Amino acid sequence: MSKSIYVGNLPWAATEEQVQDLFAEYGNVLSVKLVSDRETGRARGFGFVEMEDGEAQAAIEALDNYSFGGRTLRVNEAKPRAPRPPRY
């Protein structure tokens, strides 16, 4: 079973490959998705990493408050997105 991990306060210059390499030290990374602004294409400073359950917990514990690219990462288990009302 896999677990989705929220990674916040990423440097805007961070790439998916750099984040994957960082998390790969703790186990097999299934996927990495960094979120970017729809209009500008610029990174928004957060993303999601998917890993196996046990490995994900080890990565969360090791990398929360870790300094990466001059910024202190916020790493925790991703929560399901809350339903939103229609925008019209």
Global confidence as pTM: 0.88
The rounded distance, in Å, linking the Cα atoms of 74 and 63 is 8
Helices (H) and strands (E) in the chain, counts: 2, 6
Q: Of 72, 82, 64, 79, which is closest to residue 23 (Cα–Cα)?
A: 64
For the stretch 45-73, pLDDT in tens is: 999 999 999 999 999 999 999 999 999 99
For the stretch 1-34, pLDDT in tens is: 899 999 999 999 999 999 999 999 999 999 999 9
Place of tokens 């990674």: 7
The rounded distance, in Å, linking the Cα atoms of 73 and 33 is 16
Q: Of 7, 20, 13, 3, which is closest to residue 66 (Cα–Cα)?
A: 7
